[in-house]
Structure 1
């Protein structure tokens, strides 16, 4: 009995010291399945998407400028994020006259979390196009960050007639990871997701996104994911996350950049080394993955009309880590 008690005490101390070492926020709270108790920076609208025989609610923000310049831009979020992290970007762009459209993909943010869904980038692009059609938007610039870059790429390939300009900000999918990473089934990713907590989420973001250079304002994006792990319905969230991992690994877009017709811009933080599946490969192979300086230059050569902006000493989230350096080249490009 004493041995069992000592083990429990040791585990408690380990968890406590781990949380303290990663500075767990006192404001961490249980978040709703669809972030019902988390306020987005702008009014949230919903559209019913009929997909794969079911109806789902897809959330989006439609931020209108006070003095419109007649142009619109769509901001697509990454896998571990939602539309809320575009707040500062949207505020700046609306002041410049742009209408800013920010969707949450099905399975993310305030949108529905299906019990069963076949995730494809084509399906996500089609869902997104349905919202634009409902708003009668006929021309729009498309910007994608991280996984949103893969969604954005598929969107502009499927709908070149509606695409004005194409922007990628530290996107994943510039390389085909399945050539290096052994395949893992959805069940493996699901088990991996179920094991996540505040400490593991922050550790991943600290090492992968910010190269061990942390600022207190980054905590919000950890808390959003960690708050979900406390929800009784977290297994459904984890299952959706597992399905999207499978989509990322099995549906590369890097072979089709040459087919993009729109004027394009790459904004690449040079310190980024994000690559899914690194723990599954040898240290030697790991060093060859997520080399964004090289990937950015290679991708620029693949896209017919493409500019490249390299941001030295910036990681995976330029619009969070170095907003001024991110927004200036973006606005210059959009106004051309």
Structure 2
């Protein structure tokens, strides 16, 4: 049922998206107007609000969706997105959680999606503080957090810095379960900018299909590709690109794995057995690459060190675990949050 809903949602979304400019679009797609770097023109499944913030002296705006429950249970869930996806990809889980009685808050972190793209560097401390500022703005004292990929690193920092604001922490295929500096040598921002600017929509599709979403139909990941590549025609595209590269440097320079065993709130890792995502692996020495990204094993080892944690592994699922195996994911998520 949920998989059918997922495929229909992405199919409808893909029809409304404007394809990328000629140099970067996939074969057979006609050019249309580019999105803005705040994803202007890219549809989200629910209304988007903007919260003014100041980070390092810069005036910014944090975008978020606030979805009322079908029948309130008095609980709030915050969904935190990954690096390569706009928060709109949470649409299937928003529906599940709303129908289960949760108010659902879905921010785009600063530097991502419909939020501002800062000129300064991104830092997990700022992203965590921004998320708590959003809860304050919405007068939410405590919430459950469900976080995917890079969002898991943000969630770890929130749970460590603000444990009294978190009821339950669910980490869905998080990255940051290892210190990537132990494998990957430092890479200059200029070099990463050059490499990212050369990436084409077709090349990005191959990355997603090979590393993130091998079990998701190709048309269902088209919106992710369009969200990234149809901004290349925007006048301030380089501002977006610098923010995107800064997020990669943040993941590398600000590991959270050493903090995870110190988390005291109830925590559930839900991992895809086939998730071997490891940021920076292509830049690691060849002999070290196979050691990276053993994410299910890393999650189980970390959970064993934590006072109130458990790791569940879903077979035949990858990095987009909640989209790969929605029924199994929801069967684990809902009882955990309700406990």
Question: Given the two structures, how large is their TM-score scaled by the length of structure 2?
Answer: 0.89
Q: Provide the rounded CA distance (Å) in 1 between the counterparts of 2:33 and 2:94.
A: 26
Please list, as runs of the form range in 1=range in 2, the aligned pairs for 1:152-301 lying within 5 A after superposition: 152-211=155-214, 214-301=217-304
Summarize the Cα distance change of 1:291–1:28 in structure 2 as closer, same or farther, 3 Å threshold: farther
| Greater shift in the superposed pair: 279-288 or 326-335 | 279-288
How far 1:231 moved relative to its partner?
2.5
How far 1:210 moved relative to its partner?
2.6
Q: Provide the rounded CA distance (Å) in 2 between the counterparts of 1:41 and 1:286.
A: 38
Residues 274 and 318 in structure 2, CA contact (< 8 A), matched pair in contact too: yes
Residues 163 and 262 in structure 1, CA contact (< 8 A), matched pair in contact too: yes
Match of 2:37 in 1: 33
How far 1:25 moved relative to its partner?
5.0
How far 1:118 moved relative to its partner?
2.5
Q: Provide the rounded CA distance (Å) in 2 between the counterparts of 1:185 and 1:305.
A: 39
Match of 1:5 in 2: none
Within the alignment, does 1:88 sit opposite 2:87 as a pair?
A: no
| Greater shift in the superposed pair: 296-305 or 131-140 | 296-305
Secondary structure, counterpart of 1:30 in structure 2: coil
Alignment gaps of 5+ in structure 1: 1-14
Please report the RMSD computed on the Cα atoms of aligned residues, expressed in angstroms.
Answer: 1.8
Match of 1:135 in 2: 138
Q: Provide the rounded CA distance (Å) in 1 between the counterparts of 2:241 and 2:303.
A: 34
Residues 86 and 224 in structure 2, CA contact (< 8 A), matched pair in contact too: no
Higher RCO (C-alpha 8 Å, min separation 6): 2
Summarize the Cα distance change of 1:266–1:25 in structure 2 as closer, same or farther, 3 Å threshold: farther
How far 1:227 moved relative to its partner?
1.3
Secondary structure, counterpart of 2:64 in structure 1: strand
Secondary structure, counterpart of 1:161 in structure 2: helix
How far 1:303 moved relative to its partner?
2.2
Match of 2:307 in 1: 304
Match of 1:113 in 2: 117
How far 1:27 moved relative to its partner?
8.0
Within the alignment, does 1:319 sit opposite 2:322 as a pair?
A: yes
Residues 187-214 of structure 1, C-alpha deviations (whole Å, 9 max, x = no match): 2221122112201211111111134764
Larger Rg: 1
Q: Provide the rounded CA distance (Å) in 1 between the counterparts of 2:275 and 2:232.
A: 26
Q: Provide the rounded CA distance (Å) in 2 between the counterparts of 1:155 and 1:290.
A: 23
| Greater shift in the superposed pair: 61-70 or 317-326 | 317-326
Please list, as runs of the form range in 1=range in 2, the aligned pairs for 1:13-24 lying within 5 A after superposition: 19-20=26-27
Q: Provide the rounded CA distance (Å) in 2 between the counterparts of 1:317 and 1:276.
A: 15
Residues 160 and 262 in structure 1, CA contact (< 8 A), matched pair in contact too: yes
Residues 127-185 of structure 1, C-alpha deviations (whole Å, 9 max, x = no match): 11111101110010111101000001001111101110011001110000111101012
Question: Given the two structures, how large is their TM-score scaled by the length of structure 1?
Answer: 0.90
